[in-house]
A = this chain, B = another copy of it.
Amino acid sequence: MVLSSVTLREVANEAGVHVSTASRALNPETRSIVNEKTARRVAAAAERLGYRPHPLARGLRTNRTLTVGITVPDLLNPVFPLLYAGAETSLRDQGYSLLVGAGDDPANPVAASGILIDRHVDGLIMANAHIHSSLPQMASNQPVPTVLVNRTTDSIDAPSIACDDHAGIGLIVRHLVELGHTDIAHIAGPQDISNGVIRKQAFVAWMHSEGLDTPPELIVETNGFHTAEGRKACKRLLDSGARFTAIVGANDLIALGCYDTLAERKIKVPADISVTGFDDMAFIDRVNPPMTTVLVPFYEMGALAGQVMLSLLTSDDSGAGTLPTSTRLRPVLKTRGSTAPPAGS
């Protein structure tokens, strides 16, 4: 239990030593310098008085806040709380707290991170990068140690952790082809977001490698990974008059939007048209019909991002020899009730 605001000076008095000795005794890094016995006396005094170091005073002095910022596009998409939980788990043990910034404005990608930077976070985990996002700069005029997660971009030179979207789309396309589909549509995500681009490119590539065609009218783009965008895009697809028996959604929410539009038009999933998602977000296995999708390990991505951040934060040579690694996690196909052989077969 946290009790009173005891200062280091009081601990020092209680232990009969001077402040600096108390400081050294309590700091793991410098504990070795101090006499074994006095160190224990100080520790005991600190314990007895319920001493808690003042984070602001310490931070002002050390120029570190033990705080890491994490920016996510949208907290209401359940995958991002999951990502957060992963990162938090990795960082909490080392004494770091997470400060969340939510927002997905492409025009002002730094908006969410700006407030975090102003608060002097020691590092930044970006899950909302746009392709042209630039690395926000820190008060010290040096870039904040940054880790990209979920989305990547070449314009930020930072370690990145993401899902192997190319492979994921491959799982989906092969699954549909095995079911007998040949006319497959794709509702792509925004093309200023890496996931949107990669999944679309992967879709084309895998279709071709299966010997299938990808006519332009069967690929439509959205302005966001949201249900409403999925609804609109699905309408465009249907209104184009093009024939297809399956829709590959760029993520689960877009695919959910397809559910809505198809239901509106009395088109049955999967009897008339198969629909697939991407992410395997919470509860997507319980919608009607349960959605065939690809699991993206968001929790693990977050946990890994946290660990990479830790290694960035504790690397002695700051910036020089740190190698920006790029990790791609393996997706897993989740076959459920939204896919079936095409009507004609």
Contacts and interface: CB of A to CB of B under 8 A. Distances in A.
A256 B136 CA distance: 43
Interface in A46-96: 52, 54-57, 59-60, 65, 75-76, 78, 80-82, 84-85, 88, 92
A152 B102 CA distance: 28
A97 B99 contact: yes
B78 A138 contact: no
A116 to B, nearest CB: 8
A100 B115 CA distance: 16
A117 interface: yes
Interface string A128-152: 0000000011111100000000000
Contacts of A138: 2, 5
A72 to B, nearest CB: 10
Nearest to A58: B56
Nearest to A256: B286
A44 interface: no
Interface string A221-239: 0000000000000000000
Contact of A139 (B5, B92, B114): B5
Contacts of A88: 102
Contact of A118 (B52, B92, B98, B110): B52
Contacts of A283: 282-284, 286-287
Q: Which of A65, A97, A138, A288 has the most CB of B within 10 A?
A: A97
B76 A282 contact: yes
Contact of A288 (B4, B52, B99, B287): B287
A293 to B, nearest CB: 14
Q: How large is the interface on A (under 10, 10 to 19, 20 to 34, 35 or more residues)?
A: 35 or more
Contact of A2 (B85, B97, B118): B118
Contacts of A55: 118-120
A107 interface: no
B52 A5 contact: no
Contact of A114 (B2, B57, B289): B2
A64 to B, nearest CB: 10
Given A56-B65, A76-B82, A115 B97 contact: yes
A57 B60 contact: yes
Q: Which of A55, A65, A115, A289 has the most CB of B within 10 A?
A: A55
A280 to B, nearest CB: 13
A168 to B, nearest CB: 22
